[in-house]
Amino acid sequence: MDSSLEIPGIARLVTGGGGLPRFEIATPLAEAHVYLHGAQVAHFAPAGQPPVLFMSAQSWFQPGKPIRGGVPVIFPWFGSRQGDASAPAHGFARTRAWAAESILQRADGVVVVTLRLEPDDAMRTMWNASHNWVLRHRIAIGSELSMELEIENRGTEPIQCEEALHTYFNVSDVRGVMVWGLENTEYYDKADGMRRKRQDGEPIRFTAETDRTYVNTEATCIIEDPGLHRRIMVEKRHSHSTIVWNPWIAKARAMADFGDDEWPRMVCVETGNVADNRLEIAPSARHVTETVVHCEAC
Ligand code: BG6
């Protein structure tokens, strides 16, 4: 392993699930795991707190397959690709090995890991071969978890894409959880034939499969979890969509890489730009989507 990618006593590159390399970071502020596969944060816990992110005990850890939990990076399309049913769901960024660009510790104790993905022939074949781009994912681990996904267009034509930080949160029991912040916002209901609806003035409560793409919202979401006496705040910048997902019973059973009984312990509140909010990035321009996750007791 490259020793410039270690901070003695703080961060090291080790062999993780399925033999895939991951950073293990432990500081007085927090501990975290970050896989090069998918640039995926797989674990984050501020000091003295239970894990903030959910990870399925049934997850695959295999090249070419997504990891079920933590924060998958979704790019360049969200869900199935329009007009191409054979394309992998949620694009290819989450199933690729990213390059580790740097790791450093700031004066305030926060550790910042930067990972990079550039197109290879397989990605060019799968998407628009004439696009030239680079993704950078900057993950800052402190008492809060901050993630910045940068898309740089290095080509000569505009790039249209969707992207998301598909954050899986660890909750005590989703049936008692409320998500605030999306009141009076419009969404596409994937659990109801993608019908466009409007959230009422109430927080989201979970009583069935929930799969909603909220559009035109930059609001901070708050996951209120009475069972863990915790509020998780999900702040974002340069993101106009928020996806809220829990598979519930039947869909959990249908997923090979997810335990049948795991659905009550997770909820996804995802930061992105999808559907009506898909991005168009001009030549030589960059787009950075940022999300910051922090917790408080309640
Ligand atoms: C969510 C989508 O973001 O991801 C759901 O809204 C989807 O429709 C879920 O089921 C999980 O997707 P995947 O491809 O990881 O099984």
What are the DSSP calls for 120-161, one per residue?
-HHHHHHS-TT--EEEEEEEEESSSEEEEEEEEE-SSS-EEE
d(CA 14, CA 236): 30
Instruction: Tell me what pLDDT residue 30 has.
Output: 98
Instruction: Tell me what pLDDT residue 1 has.
Output: 57
Instruction: Select which of 90, 166, 240, 287 is catalytic.
Output: 166
- pLDDT tens digits, 146-192: 999 999 999 999 999 999 999 999 999 999 999 999 999 999 999 99
262 is catalytic: no
- Does 2 have pLDDT greater than 90? no
Atom of ligand 1 nearest to the CA of 247: 10
Mean pLDDT, the chain, rounded, equals 97
Q: Are 271 and 239 in contact (CB under 8 A)?
A: yes
Give me ligand 1 centre to Cα 79, in Å: 6
Say which amino acid occupies 202: E
Instruction: Tell me what pLDDT residue 297 has.
Output: 94
DSSP 185-218: -EEEEGGGTTEEEE--SSPEE-SS-EEEEEES--
Instruction: Tell me what pLDDT residue 82 has.
Output: 87
- Does 3 have pLDDT greater than 70? no
Question: Which of these, 97, 126, 74, lies nearest to 13 by C-alpha position?
Answer: 97
Average pLDDT score over residue span 228-245: 98
Measured by CA distance, the residue closest to atom 14 of ligand 1 is: 89
| Per-residue confidence band for 4, with pLDDT thresholds at 50, 70 and 90 | confident
pTM of this structure: 0.98
- pLDDT tens digits, 80-129: 998 898 899 999 999 999 999 999 999 999 999 999 999 999 999 999 98
- pLDDT tens digits, 262-274: 999 999 999 999 9
Instruction: Tell me what pLDDT residue 280 has.
Output: 98
